[in-house]
Amino acid sequence: MMKKQLSEVGALALFLLLAFGVGGQEDLSLSQAIAIGLKNNFQIQIADKNIEIAENSNRWSVAGRYPTIDLSLNSNNGFNHLENPASFTQQVDSWSANGSPGINSSIVLFDGYRVRFTKQQLEKLAIQSRGDAKVVVENTIESIILAYYQALIQKEQLSVLEEVLALSKDRIEYQEIRKEYGQSSTFDVLQTKDAYLNDSTNYLIQVNSYETALRNLNLAMRDKNLNTRYHLVDQLTFEVTDYRLADLKEKMLAGNQDLQNLFTQRELAGINTKLQRTSLFPKLQLNIGGGINRTDSKVNIVFATGDPLNRLVKTRSFNFFFNLSATYNLFDFGVKRRKIENAQMQEFVVQLQVDDLIQNLTAQLENTLGTFNNQRRLVLLTQELIENAQKNLEIAAERFKGGLINSFDFRTIQLNYINASQARLNAIFNLKNTETELIRLTGGLVR
């Protein structure tokens, strides 16, 4: 019964090894994953459309610099019937058809530079839309980087468990041979098989973890098929990078996108104050226009004598006007002043938000850098740990074959190797995660 279970586990493990082979899978690097994710992400597409909308609105015509020209056409038609026996004209019927096409143009000559400030506002709104899009891009790139490295972690851990599983299988064969020659007991064989079953269980669990990580990567890339198989070609390497806090702060102030967006909001608040102040100035407007008025009238008159009179009258007229108008509000119960005061207070609020964000980002940057330096030392320690664990495993395997250590000691060393491998992989992933956060804080995650 035990041999049947072991054969089933072995067959399943072999199937999983073949299923996760690289044959037939498309190679995928981190840069390729980012490119695919940026192309497929719907939020980025929405942000790009918002940029187009803002840039399309950033026109002098939208700001009101150019005159407006309106074409009008009026048509008035009527019929009038009058009967009065006491009048000299006892019956009068009249028809009239009137057409009045015209063209009007209006241009603001002066309004306290409101047009200029409106154009500046439109320019800043376009910059703001691009900044919002950059934040979406940053979040997308960060999620793809972390998903890719997480998949690499699970892949490396799967390789470690695959190695351990193969070693456990060799131990079973070795113990059974020793048992045939009387050098091993049934208890030793059972202990070896128990280790093999535990390793097989851990391997199957890790297979599921790797599959989940791949699906999460596909989700981060917005792949329509979450079960698409990729061969991750990048290596999970550790590179010693020295970051100076002063340099990072300088980059953060110049490149952090959240901070840049708030700078834009501060400028918009300043422009809004200028716009509110334009209401204190008079408004001078020029109106130019002209029109043609044409009326065709037909009159039928019946006199008291019974004689009729029919007449068709056509009239034509042309008018042209060139008018200047100036308006200035003398009193509005302080409405304009209050709007200006509110705009100034909003400027002050945004400045406080800028100061608060700089303070928080600086603290976050220092904490992240401290965590990064600590994690870098931790990675170096885990590398030494895995090297020692690997050497101990090699020596233990030789001693186990020579009968110098028992299966319990060998299993302990084997578990130490698994734990050391997991600790190293987790340390590298945490380091990559923290380094990605450092890059994001300093504005390095760009398209």
Is residue 414 one of the residues assigned to a domain? yes
| Partners of 130 in beta bridges | none
- CA-nearest of 287, 347, 286, 296 to 317 is 296
Is residue 291 one of the residues assigned to a domain? no
Structural domain of 347: 2-68+112-282+334-441
Task: Compute the half-sphere exposure of residue 426: CA atoms within 13 Å on the CB side of its CA.
Answer: 6
Give the DSSP letter of residue 64: T
- Residues 137, 85: Cα–Cα separation, whole Å: 88
Is residue 162 one of the residues assigned to a domain? yes
> Tokens representing 398?
């030789």
Give the DSSP letter of residue 278: G
Cβ contact 79:299 at 8 Å: no
Is residue 429 one of the residues assigned to a domain? yes
Is residue 305 one of the residues assigned to a domain? no
Is residue 320 one of the residues assigned to a domain? no
Beta strands at 230-232 and 26-28: parallel, antiparallel or unpaired: parallel
Provide the number of structural domains found in the chain. Answer: 1
- Residues 146, 151: Cα–Cα separation, whole Å: 9
pLDDT, residue 23, reads 47
- Residues 83, 303: Cα–Cα separation, whole Å: 11
- Residues 138, 332: Cα–Cα separation, whole Å: 48
Residue type, 436: T
Look at the alpha carbons of 110, 116, 117, 118 in this order and tell me if their dihedral is positive or negative. Answer: positive
| Residues contacting residue 205 through CB under 8 Å, at least 6 positions apart | none
| CATH classification at residue 210 | 1.20.1600.10
Is residue 183 one of the residues assigned to a domain? yes
Is residue 362 one of the residues assigned to a domain? yes
pLDDT by 10s per residue, the chain, length 447? 444 444 444 545 544 544 554 445 789 999 999 999 999 999 999 999 999 999 999 999 889 889 888 888 887 777 676 666 655 655 666 677 777 888 988 998 888 899 999 999 999 999 999 999 999 999 999 999 999 999 999 999 999 889 888 888 877 776 677 676 666 667 767 777 888 888 889 899 999 999 999 999 999 999 888 888 889 998 887 777 789 999 999 999 999 999 999 999 999 999 999 999 999 999 999 999 888 887 777 767 666 666 666 777 777 888 888 889 999 989 889 999 999 999 999 999 999 999 999 999 999 999 999 999 999 999 999 999 989 998 998 898 888 777 787 777 888 888 888 889 889 999 999 999 999 999 999 998 886
| Total H helices, total E strands in the chain | 10, 6
- How many other CB atoms sit within 10 Å of the CB of residue 250? 12
- Residues 302, 208: Cα–Cα separation, whole Å: 104
Cβ contact 279:64 at 8 Å: no
Report pLDDT digits (tens) over 63-101: 988 988 888 888 777 767 666 665 565 566 667 777 788
- Residues 266, 250: Cα–Cα separation, whole Å: 20
Compute the CA torsion angle 183, 186, 187, 190 (nearest 10 deg).
120
Element (H, E) at 357: helix 335-401
- Residues 422, 239: Cα–Cα separation, whole Å: 19
